[in-house]
Chains A and B, each alone.
Chain A
Amino acid sequence: MTPEEEAEFKRRQKSRNIVVAGALLFFVVLFYAITVARLGSQ
């Protein structure tokens, strides 16, 4: 792998990691909100 390819590899990996982290955070918040909403309706 050339240095350019390695840099591109790392860039793609990093952007994917950021998206996965964002998605996980979103679902943590969503499940908290769902729990609150469901408890509130009971």
Chain B
Amino acid sequence: MTTATPNNTSRARLEGGEPVHAAVLPAEWRDFYALTKPRVMTLVIFTAICGLLAAPGQIHPVLGFTAVLAIAMGAGGSAVLNQWWEADLDAGMKRTSSRPLPMGSIRREDARDFGLFLSGVSVFLMGVAIGWLAAALLLCAIIYYAVVYTIWLKPRTPQNIVIGGGAGAFPPLIGWVAVTGEVTAMPMLLFAIIFFWTPPHFWALALFVKSDYAKVGIPMLPVVAGERTTRNHIWVYTLLLAPITVAPWLISGTSWIYGTTALALSALFIALAIPVARRDAVIGEGDPMAEEIRLFKFSIVYLFVLFAALVADRVLEAQGLIGSGLFAGGVFA
């Protein structure tokens, strides 16, 4: 099995070629920015803001902004460390070969130092401005993604995406804790929702986008275990996700607005996962993979609508328009 082993020279490797020396010119600030994976950060920021807004209690707007900034910086720092470690792997894959490190437009040790600096500052900022529990959770998230996932488990197990989902699940939890200062059942459920949402979301994508992970020795499930097993896994995680999504309502953490939205979204998710799970034919080159593409696209809408409903629920409750609880203040009251 191939594992990425970063060296301490300023070498970079172009796609499929020999190592080349990084440019003598200093890296552009845009290269550092690109290393933070700004597109991935959009979802991180969205879920963090949702966690912040959905939490019971008030937070000063400046402190709320600082909490989201610290979470975004932590996500950026761990993304940089991820690319520092995987520079050789990225060079071997078409999708990632144009990133700053494989292109040689930034020195490897500069990327490592930038990632460590960004991570350190994010934890410090969170601790000083918000609280050390939120800071400790942020540190856990960074270590989880950069070390446990990237270095340890990603090259070793086809369940890597399940474990990787945990890293993406931290932002709403941290956002919530930034307001309340304590870890309770509700933020843990928000964590669990993203954790169980990630596998069907990612594996649906993996079925219709043929990545070249196998070329660089990363054991992704469709490659290692085949499409049938991947489809079974999508089905199992979709079924596990449904009760977890509805749980915040069942434990009276939200009102009927979130509850009915969660029920409807879960029913749709299951309905769209059925044809994906049942498909058994060997997929040919010309297959449009319509069911898989539909499930993947819906999974994104699912998460955005679910978290938006959570925030709407809390805002309406704060306005006194609805009550919290299973059937409180709504159509069932």
B98 at the interface (CB under 8 A from A): no
CB of B28 within 8 A of CB of A15, answer yes
- Chain A nearest CB from B49 CB (Å) reads 17
Chain B contacts for A16, CB-based, 8 A: 26-29
Q: Which residues of A contact B25 (CB under 8 A)?
A: 5, 8-9, 12
Q: B69 → chain A, closest Cβ, in Å?
A: 8
- With a cutoff of 8 Å between Cβ atoms, the chain B residues found around residue A1 in the complex are 24
Interface residues of B in 1-50 (CB under 8 A from A): 24-29
State whether A37 touches B28 (Cβ < 8 A): no
Residues of A contacting B129 with CB < 8 Å? 34, 38
Q: Which of A1-42 contact B (CB under 8 A)?
A: 1, 5, 8-9, 12-13, 15-16, 19, 30, 33-34, 36-38, 40-41
Contact call B29/A30, Cβ cutoff below 8 A: no
Contact B62 A33 (CB under 8 A): yes
Q: Does B210 contact A (CB under 8 A)?
A: no
B180 within 8 A of A: no
B66 contacts chain A at the CB level, 8 A cutoff = yes
Assess whether B264 is interfacial by the CB under 8 Å rule: no
Query: In the assembly, what is the distance between CA of A17 and CA of B111, in Å?
Result: 17
Assembled-state Cα–Cα distance A37/B26 (Å)? 39
Contact of B60 among A5, A13, A40 (CB under 8 A): A40
Tell whether, in the assembled complex, residue A34 and residue B29 are in contact, meaning their CB atoms are under 8 Å apart. Answer: no
A19 touches B62 (CB 8 A): no
Q: Which residue of B lies closest to A30 (CB)?
A: B66
Cα separation A40 to B25 with both chains bound (whole Å): 47
* A13: chain B residues within 8 A (beta carbon): 26
Partner of A15, one of B29, B62, B66, B128: B29
Cα-based distance from A37 to B60 in the complex (angstroms)? 7
Q: Can you list 16 A-B pairs with a CB-CB distance of less than 8 A?
A: A1-B24, A8-B25, A9-B25, A9-B26, A12-B27, A15-B29, A16-B26, A16-B27, A16-B29, A30-B62, A30-B66, A34-B128, A34-B129, A36-B62, A37-B63, A38-B60
Q: Interface extent on B, as a size class? A: 10 to 19
- In whole angstroms, how far apart are the Cα atoms of A12 and B64 in the complex? 34
A16 to B66, CA, bound (A): 24
- Return chain A residues, CB-CB under 8 Å to B128: 34
Contact bitstring B63-105, A, C-beta under 8 A = 1, else 0:
1001001000000000000000000000000000000000000
- How many angstroms between the C-alpha atoms of A8 and B26 in the bound complex? 9
The reply to whether B29 and A19 form a contact with Cβ atoms under 8 Å apart is yes
Task: Say how far A19's CB is from chain B's closest CB, in angstroms.
Answer: 4
A17 to chain B, nearest CB (A): 9
Taking CB atoms, residues of chain B closer than 8 Å to A37 are 60, 62-63
In the complex formed, the residue of A with least CB distance to B64 is: A37
Chain A residues contacting B29 (CB-CB under 8 Å) are 15-16, 19
Query: Are the C-beta atoms of B26 and A12 separated by less than 8 Å?
Result: yes
CB-contacts of B205-244 with A (<8 A): none
Report chain A residues within 8 Å CB of B27: 12, 16
B62 touches A34 (CB 8 A): yes
Question: Which residues from A are CB-within-8-Å of B24?
Answer: 1
Cβ B66 vs Cβ A12 within 8 A = no
Nearest residue in B to A12 (C-beta to C-beta)? B26
Distance of B98 from chain A, by nearest CB (Å) = 19
Contacts of A36 in B (CB 8 A): 62
Q: Which residues of the partner chain B approach A30 to less than 8 Å between Cβ atoms?
A: 62, 66, 69
| Minimal beta-carbon separation of B237 from chain A (angstroms) | 40
